[in-house]
Amino acid sequence: MYHLAKSLYLYATSKEGTPSTAAARFEYSVLLLGLDNAGKTTLLSQIKALYQPRADGAPAPNPGKTVPTVGQNVTTVSLPDLNLKIWDVGGQISMRGLWQSYYSSCHAIIFVVDSADVGQDPDITRLPSASTRRTSSISGPSRTRTGSGETFSEETVGINAAAGEFGRLGECQEVLESVLQSADVAGVPILVLANKQDREDCVEVVRIKEGFVRKVFEGETGGGVRDSRVLPVSALLGSGVQAAVEWVQSRVKWNKESRPPVMR
Ligand SMILES: Nc1nc2c(ncn2[C@@H]2O[C@H](COP(=O)(O)OP(=O)(O)OP(=O)(O)O)[C@@H](O)[C@H]2O)c(=O)[nH]1
Ligand SMILES: [Mg+2]
């Protein structure tokens, strides 16, 4: 109760959204989503290495060593004017039903795509629309229903479909659409990261943007998206990571009237 009252007092006495004491900080929550193996945990490690210098001077832990996330990892990084609390949740099918419980309290979403797992087709814009795939493939027993009403199953996400041509791009598209279907993410800034750009077999960011992201954002589930961006990164090498964090930092501040931060 004391803490709540103190937070309210600090908020009420702050000037133009700036905390009135050096100790009080605004905190925004950022949700890392994406298919399993996309690179979310690796990205979180790189963000930590960039923004949480180790006091003892020891080298940052090797971000290449990860195991599939079961549950969540969370890290808070301090930027000059705010804190970002970053939630990395598991991307395996069995984990995706948990994502929706984070939606209402997040201030931004980073959706990570494995650019080396979207197939070899030279024109990924030919990817059939998700609604076509859905109507032709919903069947079978192995489904997980999420609160948003979307269904994740091996069939609907295309895992056992003839994959080679488009890799997991169709699965990616359906999963991003299912996120956007939730009313709780309406208006939240969304950054799509075309990860693994260090790999020779990766698809370049412009093709991911045109062939997949634009389709989703301009499609029927994209209506609630007000602010979005697609950026290339290599979470493993750290390239592009700072630009990604800076985009999120600026956007959560712009959006603070509709999604106010919490005071810490
Ligand atoms: N070459 C390359 N490999 C990467 C990159 N980012 C992640 N990886 C590798 O991809 C694999 C999966 O990375 P994770 O960070 O564990 O993936 P995740 O999205 O957290 O996966 P889940 O926890 O199952 O949802 C690991 O072997 C990483 O080393 C990258 O930028 N380049
Ligand atoms: Mg992980």
Convert the pLDDT of each residue in 217-255 to its tens digit: 998 888 888 899 999 999 999 999 999 999 999 999 999
Name the average pLDDT for the chain: 81
Average pLDDT over residues 46-60: 80
Question: Which residues neighbour 211 within 8 Å (Cβ) at sequence distance 6 or greater?
Answer: 118, 123, 124, 125, 126, 127, 169
Q: How confident is the model at residue 52 (pLDDT cuts 50, 70, 90)?
A: confident
For residue 199, report the distance from its CA to the centre of ligand 1, in Å: 12
- Please give the pLDDT value at position 153: 43
Of 68, 86, 69, whose CA–CA distance to 77 is shortest?
86
Contact 31, 102 (CB under 8 A): yes
pLDDT surpassing 80 at residue 142 = no
Q: Which of 93, 192, 236, 239 has most ligand 1 atoms within 8 Å of its beta carbon, as the pocket-test mutant?
A: 236
Check if the beta carbon of residue 17 is closer than 8 Å to that of residue 254.
Answer: no
Residue 234 confidence (pLDDT): 97
CATH number of the domain residue 203 falls in: 3.40.50.300
For residue 117, being part of any structural domain is answered with yes
Coil, strand or helix: which one is 93? helix
Predicted confidence (pLDDT) per residue in 160-170, tens digit: 344 456 678 88
Interface pTM, i.e. ipTM: 1.00
Q: Which domain holds residue 244?
A: 27-263
Task: Determine which residue's CA is closest to atom 30 belonging to ligand 1.
Answer: 196
Q: Is 239 helix (H, G, I), strand (E, B) or coil?
A: strand
pLDDT at 105 over 70: yes
Highest mean pLDDT among 10-24, 95-109, 220-234: 95-109
Residue 238 region, left (φ>0) first, then alpha (ψ -120 to 50), else beta?
left
In a domain, 40, yes or no: yes
Label residue 15 by pLDDT band (50, 70, 90).
very low
Residue 194, in any domain of the structure: yes
Check whether 143 has a pLDDT greater than 60.
Answer: no
Q: How confident is the model at residue 118 (pLDDT cuts 50, 70, 90)?
A: confident
| pLDDT value of residue 12 | 45
Q: How many CA atoms lie within 13 A of 71 on its CB side?
A: 2
CA of 14 to the centre of ligand 1 (A): 41
In a domain, 20, yes or no: no
In a domain, 151, yes or no: yes
pLDDT class for 22, splitting at 50, 70, 90?
low
Q: Give the model's pLDDT for residue 32.
A: 98
Residue 35 annotated as lining a ligand binding site: yes
Identify which has the larger pLDDT, 196 or 2: 196
**Within a domain: residue 5?**
no
Q: Is residue 33 part of a domain?
A: yes
Domains of the chain: total: 1
- 8 A C-beta contact, residue 37 and residue 199: no
What integer is the mean pLDDT of 106-134? 74
Per the structure block, which two tokens stand in for 157?
A: 């996400």
Q: Which of 35, 41, 200 to mutate to test the pocket of ligand 1 (most atoms within 8 A of CB)?
A: 41
CB-based contact 118:209 (threshold 8 Å): no
235 marked ligand binding residue: no
Are 236 and 196 a contacting pair, CB within 8 Å?
A: yes
User: What HEC string does 158-198 produce?
Assistant: CCCCCCCCCCCHHHHHHHHHHHHCCHHHCCCCEEEEEECCC
Ligand 1, CB within 6 Å, residue ranges: 34, 36-42, 64, 66, 68-69, 90-92, 195-196, 198-199, 234-236
Q: What is the pTM of this model?
A: 0.81
Specify if 31 maps to a domain: yes
